Chain A
């Protein structure tokens, strides 16, 4: 039963969807504060390579090494995001240009690959990796076993993050402020909410989430360092935020949906059915293009509930 197509696809869909979920949550936080970050792909790759580097270098028990690696990945992503925040919040540069530039700078032919080569990370398996945390007896339960109990700590942690982000945005004062900053920075400013500080903070935290998303590839899914191992997951994450109407819980659903698409060809192969994997693998990207087309029209953005000030630098209007 646990080998049935549906269970296998769902279980691995969750695994494959987790990096998307982390990256999308981060992007969601940045966008809710009004900062569009198209550098997610680059931040994921830098997070992936730095997380992998950390796990190879830290000599400690598995748990500690992995925790440290995740911390390093988050920090690396946040540092990348700091560049973005400085450019678009302080210097009020075009957010699209800055984000694209960061992805190119840090991407497959850039910083992340350079670091991977320079630190000699390629071709070696991870010394520690995230593994299923529940005992095999749990995992053998029918249906729910592989889906709910066959996952790594990163998956469970991501569920916690979804709940925290959702509660943060809707139930806390800071969440209210950040939503106000993303919707109407002028109104927030008039009520003495520091627009610059909120945008910086959420862009940085968003970059951290992207870094963790990248490390999910290099420490759990792959798990090794291959240049460009995210394969465009950052772009899918950006589209996901749109499909999720900027809501964390819908991000989770969407991430697993895309994850399942990635898993489907492998699962089909296991059942002796061969379809051109390119067909399935291209679907998330087709959806991404559609989402980006949608969000670029102003009318659609309003209908889908995009933060009204998304992508617009804030300049205080004196008088």
Chain B
């Protein structure tokens, strides 16, 4: 991969998840070492062995997940680990540090009280502290990783002003994003990454959201579409105005309404982190909705109770298949009955019928082609593809009404992907409503009957799969205007 940025420039790195944005920044900040190639910094070839080397060379990064000590004050966080001039004194010169932090925050419009404690601050303010940390270290190159993900639009605009001010100061700002309008708004140049390669570097003024989306998604050979042709039955799952909190306390799912009919495959497209995972968890009962109604086969769910969801007929293939999908230390057989062990035939009263469990597991393994040396091996020994087949086998065996599958083919090889696709299609043919959450547009176009696009927690568009195009969907996923 080739990449360059000039002093005083705001350079955006644009790409889908897994395109190599994070890896590139980890190399620049000394966390990873490049296998090949060189980093040239201000005309000198450098080699970073640790994050400290990168920091000393003037490269600082603002991570998506803040690295702040929450009981500490802003000033204490800023000065932590500093080892230059007043940072080197044995005693902490709190006043002096606070004064300097205040100076910096005024100069770059980063309004935050240096004496405030981190836990008292909003996420936007915490981000300002992270930027202050970088500026305090006198970073000449700042890498901002998806900085607007946690910001309100107003906060984002303030951040853009700060970024411009830093660039005017001669600093280089590398702005990692997958949102087209932001890139247009703040960057001088844009480098588009795809599958670990830099595809193109274009001046932001000449780029349009449409051209960037095309570069980002790439025109690839589409898999044959095999969707449609199924009779779609009555609505089996319906969401009305559902809101749910994300892990960080801000709403991650905003006013989502959608319905899936029996035998229909509805795909939720979107770049990761736009609320799809939270949406799936909400339907599966792992996350309580704060507002709205979820109805499964005419039954109203209270929400936030996985057993209730299972009882209503929700099957769930989680994104994190090894951590959430199975109990890795338990045997394949135990994992197969994780959702059915309370009922006959695998248990009687408080007792598990172990022989029966192994029988059930063996027959399911055969039916779903789960390759393991036996029903007693621990689940973690299975390959990704077989693990996913195991999860699918368990979920289908519960006779579900609706199947929520979150990134079911991520990390699988071609054969594994094929098998999972076949299973999803055959479930739909049996009349199960399938809600497929995926970032892979090829997969979505190959499977779905209807496509819903999520962006920043809300549904921003809906398309019929037969007429949707990759470009159009890519634009919606990146927050491009519906009208474009």
The chain A residues found within 8 Å of chain B, CB to CB, are 171-177, 179-180, 183-184, 186-193, 305, 308, 318-319
B67 close to A191 (CB less than 8 A): yes
- Majority secondary structure of chain B interface residues (helix, strand, loop or mixed): loop
B92 close to A191 (CB less than 8 A): no
A191 to B70, CA, bound (A): 15
The residue of chain B having its C-beta at the shortest distance from the C-beta of A170 within the complex is B92
* Chain A residues in 8 Å Cβ range of B71: 183, 305, 308
Q: Does B80 contact A (CB under 8 A)?
A: yes
Q: Give 15 A-B contacts (CB < 8 Å), ordered by A residue.
A: A171-B92, A173-B79, A173-B87, A173-B89, A174-B90, A180-B81, A184-B67, A187-B80, A188-B69, A190-B67, A191-B67, A191-B81, A192-B51, A193-B81, A319-B26
Interface residues on B, range: 20 to 34
Question: Which B residues from 29 to 88 make CB contacts under 8 A with A?
Answer: 31-32, 50-52, 55, 63, 67-72, 76-77, 79-83, 87-88
A176 to B76, CA, bound (A): 8
Given contacts A171-B91, A191-B133, contact A177 B80 (CB under 8 A): yes
* Chain B residues in 8 Å Cβ range of A174: 90
Q: Chain B 1-31 against A: per-residue CB contact (8 Å), 1 yes, 0 no?
A: 0000000000000000000001100100001
Q: From the candidates A187, A308, A319, name the one contacting B22 in the complex (CB within 8 A).
A: A319
A125 to B89, CA, bound (A): 48
A187 close to B68 (CB less than 8 A): yes
- A-B pairs with CB below 8 Å: how many? 73
A193 to B80, CA, bound (A): 8
A184 close to B81 (CB less than 8 A): no
* Chain B residues in 8 Å Cβ range of A188: 69, 80-81
B81 close to A177 (CB less than 8 A): yes
Nearest Cβ in chain B — how far from A113, in angstroms?
40
Nearest Cβ in chain B — how far from A77, in angstroms?
26
Given contacts A173-B90, A190-B51, contact A183 B69 (CB under 8 A): yes
A176 close to B79 (CB less than 8 A): yes
A180 close to B80 (CB less than 8 A): yes
* Chain A residues in 8 Å Cβ range of B87: 173
Nearest Cβ in chain B — how far from A168, in angstroms?
10
A180 to B71, CA, bound (A): 9
A46 to B77, CA, bound (A): 39
Given contacts A176-B80, A188-B80, A193-B81, contact A319 B68 (CB under 8 A): no
* Chain B residues in 8 Å Cβ range of A191: 67, 80-82, 133
Question: Which B residues from 129 to 147 make CB contacts under 8 A with A?
Answer: 133
A174 to B90, CA, bound (A): 7
The residue of chain A having its C-beta at the shortest distance from the C-beta of B81 within the complex is A191
Q: From the candidates A171, A183, A193, A318, name the one contacting B70 in the complex (CB within 8 A).
A: A183
Nearest Cβ in chain B — how far from A284, in angstroms?
29
* Chain A residues in 8 Å Cβ range of B133: 191
A176 close to B92 (CB less than 8 A): yes
A305 to B71, CA, bound (A): 9
* Chain B residues in 8 Å Cβ range of A175: 92
A186 close to B81 (CB less than 8 A): no
Q: Chain B 140-181 against A: per-residue CB contact (8 Å), 1 yes, 0 no?
A: 000000000000000000000000000000000000000000
A176 to B71, CA, bound (A): 11
B69 close to A184 (CB less than 8 A): yes
The residue of chain A having its C-beta at the shortest distance from the C-beta of B22 within the complex is A319
Q: Chain B 372-389 against A: per-residue CB contact (8 Å), 1 yes, 0 no?
A: 000000000000000000
* Chain B residues in 8 Å Cβ range of A177: 80-81
A192 to B69, CA, bound (A): 14
The residue of chain A having its C-beta at the shortest distance from the C-beta of B94 within the complex is A171
* Chain A residues in 8 Å Cβ range of B22: 319
A102 to B32, CA, bound (A): 38
Top 8 closest pairs, chain A to chain B, by CB: A191-B81, A190-B67, A187-B67, A192-B52, A184-B69, A191-B80, A193-B81, A183-B69
Nearest Cβ in chain B — how far from A64, in angstroms?
30
A265 to B28, CA, bound (A): 67
* Chain B residues in 8 Å Cβ range of A180: 69, 72, 80-81
Nearest Cβ in chain A — how far from B362, in angstroms?
37
* Chain B residues in 8 Å Cβ range of A190: 51, 63, 67
* A172, A184, A305 — most chain B CB neighbours (10 Å): A184
The residue of chain A having its C-beta at the shortest distance from the C-beta of B83 within the complex is A192
The residue of chain A having its C-beta at the shortest distance from the C-beta of B63 within the complex is A190
* Chain B residues in 8 Å Cβ range of A176: 72, 76, 79-80, 92
Extra contacts besides A187-B68, A188-B69, A191-B81 (6): CB < 8 Å = A173-B88, A186-B67, A305-B71, A308-B71, A318-B31, A318-B32
Given contacts A193-B81, A318-B31, A319-B31, contact A173 B91 (CB under 8 A): yes
* Chain A residues in 8 Å Cβ range of B55: 192
